[in-house]
Structure 1
């Protein structure tokens, strides 16, 4: 009996600016590595795929090919479609107006409570940060790039992480559903 196949959302940390993962070659490399229904979303470190492999094997395979083909050696996260659905359902800011002002931050480990409290001191009125189910949600209604909370987040949280804005979160769910079905 064949192993069941899982749809994974592949999040590459730190893509953008000087660090690039060209999407067409990335899709080809992931497909060539045996992954199914591979799709990428914008040139900022997002892919979806389907595999019978366990998460650790998916990450190890993707990491090896990214290092060999693209010189990319940063962290890779691989939540399943089901985990991504929970991430969406757990959004503590359901009334936000603009998808680029809410970010879901996938964490490599649980941050210390004092790290979250210290970050909260940088939030201006209207901004918020919440930890729900192993994901940090940032609401920066005036823009992440101009936010002191946003500026201090990466170092301040104190654990490995990668963030996506809500527009990207929803698009990746759509792509992962397609990857799961085919």
Structure 2
């Protein structure tokens, strides 16, 4: 059995409201072991003997069946997640700024988002990360939705293959 982090896209924001206890029950019912949710924003730790792709497919199917919404889940083994967080290229704690990791499942979208670094304002940092595909970014507090990445990520076409987490949230997932 391997440990995985599963990140549910768009949960408890934008109209998809799920109780994390019910999410844990659905994933346990789908055959995952040691299911634990972290915060109310769709962060789940679970154990499985399957690989990343199978965990993603099973989790999405279980959530669609249980809750009736078009579930999108990005899954990483715990060691990969730890490497992603450790590779954060900017200063982690900057007063007045938020530090984020955007997980990107589609390589074409990853390239598009990485190119936004050239368009970013002087107060926003954007950098592509290591495989399996992440965008690191840092933005002043209060301007996340108006930032270069925030405005781009709000477009419908990015919803199925991206999700963003605050670096502090990822630290909690890894504890």
Normalising TM by the smaller chain, what interval? 0.7 to 0.9
Specify whether residues 125 and 80 from structure 1 end up closer, same or farther in structure 2 by C-alpha distance, changes over 3 A only: same
Q: Does residue 1:152 correspond to 2:166, yes or no?
A: no
Alpha-carbon contact 1:104-1:136 (below 8 Å) kept: yes
- C-alpha distance in structure 2 between counterparts of 1:112 and 1:79, whole Å: 16
> How far apart in 1 are the matches of 2:96 and 2:81?
16
Question: What does residue 23 of structure 1 align with?
Answer: 20
Aligned residue-pair number = 168
Structure 1 position 8 matched with structure 2 position 4: yes
Residues of 1 paired with 2:91 and 2:51: CA distance?
A: 32
Q: CA distance change for structure 1 residues 52 and 144 in 2, over 3 Å: closer, same or farther?
A: farther
Greater CA drift, 7-16 or 54-63: 54-63
* Structure 2: gaps of 5 or more residues: none
> Which gives a bigger RCO, structure 1 or 2 (Cα 8 Å, sep 6+)?
1
| Secondary structure of 1:152's aligned partner | helix
Matches of 2:97 and 2:36, distance apart in 1: 22
The two structures, once aligned, show a CA RMSD in angstroms of 2.3
**Aligned pair 1:169/2:170, yes or no?**
yes
Q: Which residue of 2 aligns with 1:125?
A: 122
**Does the C-alpha gap of structure 1 residues 112 and 49 become closer, same or farther in structure 2, counting only changes over 3 Å?**
closer
Deviation at 1:39, TM superposition (A): 0.5
- Which range moves more in the overlay, 109-118 or 43-52? 109-118
After TM superposition, the runs of 4+ consecutive aligned structure 1 residues lying more than 6 A away are none
Equivalent-residue separation in structure 1 for 2:101 and 2:87 (angstroms): 10
Shift of 1:70: 0.7
Higher normalized strand content (fraction of residues): 2
Q: Call closer, same or farther: CA 1:100–1:28 in 2, change over 3 Å.
A: farther
Q: Is the 8 A contact 1:63 1:76 kept in 2?
A: yes
Once the two structures are superposed, residues 16-55 of structure 1 have per-residue CA deviations (whole angstroms, 9 ceiling, x without a partner) of: 2311221111111212222111100122111110111122
Note closer, same or farther for the CA distance 1:92–1:76 as it changes in structure 2 (3 Å cut). Answer: same
Asked whether 1:116 is paired with 2:114, we answer: yes
Q: CA distance change for structure 1 residues 113 and 106 in 2, over 3 Å: closer, same or farther?
A: closer
Residue in 2 that maps onto 1:135: 134
Quick check: which has more Rg, 1 or 2?
1
